[in-house]
Structure formats: C-alpha cells, structure tokens
Amino acid sequence: GENVEQHPSTLSVQEGDSAVIKCTYSDSASNYFPWYKQELGKGPQLIIDIRSNVGEKKDQRIAVTLNKTAKHFSLHITETQPEDSAVYFCAASEDNYGQNFVFGPGTRLSVLP
C-alpha cells in the first residue's frame, strides 16, 4: 500500500521568510496530492492540491511542486505570517477511483513575529 513520508516534523521561520515542507510517496499509481492545514482543535482544511498532469501549482503565497519521477512533492509558503502557524499534512491518493487519502505524519510550522 501507499506510504507517505514528510519532513521536517517541525519548522520555525521568521515572519516574512519562506517555508518549505517536503513529502515522498511510494505508490507510483498515486496521482492526486493535496495539502491540508490543521489549526489547534480544528479539522484539516484543504489549502492547495496538485494532480499528476502538472508539475507546479500556485495560489497567492502558496505553491506546490510535484516530481513524479522521484515521487516527491513539496509545499512552499512565501512571505510567511503568524497566522500560517499550524500543522501541515500532505497526502497522496489514486484519485480516479476515489480511494482514501494516505496522510503524512505532519509538519508543525511556527512563524515567529
């Protein structure tokens, strides 16, 4: 089955700096890679996703890149703000069949003012 690894487990950056979180997956059949942000006491919130037919996607300060050959994808947050502080999860799935997501273990991002 699919296995998703995520690094780093914790990340501290100064406000205004960039943050990068990296994930690797094992199943070459996976073709959908969402990223979720989870604030304390809340459910995960979808912030951006990418499908295997594209290599990069950007939404304002957030971007995701995908390297299918190497089976890894990354989340990039630029101009970080204190409200970006949260736990971020990557996930992988074989989207065509609506299969469940396999989540990474999460990265706790702290943006220091």
Partner 1 sequence: EAEVAQSPRYKITEKSQAVAFWCDPISGHATLYWYRQILGQGPELLVQFQDESVVDDSQLPKDRFSAERLKGVDSTLKIQPAELGDSAMYLCASSSPVLAGGHYEQYFGPGTRLTVT
Q: For residues 100 and 93, is the Cβ–Cβ distance under 8 A?
A: yes
The closest of 54, 78, 58 to 67, measured between CA atoms, is 54
Q: How far is the CB of 73 from partner 1 (least distance, A)?
A: 15
Residue 44 is a binding residue for partner 1 (CB under 8 A)? yes
User: Which residues make Cβ contacts (< 8 Å) with residue 40, sequence separation at least 6?
Assistant: 86
Phi and psi torsions of 69, nearest 5°: -65, -45
Residue 101 is a binding residue for partner 1 (CB under 8 A)? yes
Pairing verdict, β 72-77 and 19-25: antiparallel
Half-sphere exposure in the Cβ direction for 103 (13 Å, CA):
12
Q: Which C-beta is closer to partner 1: that of 99 or that of 110?
A: 99
Residue 54 is a binding residue for partner 1 (CB under 8 A)? no
Contact string (CB under 8 A) for partner 1, positions 7-26, x = contact? --------------------
Residue 53 is a binding residue for partner 1 (CB under 8 A)? no
Residues forming the site for partner 1 (CB under 8 A): 4, 6, 32, 34, 36, 41-46, 49, 51, 89, 91, 93, 95, 98-101, 103-106
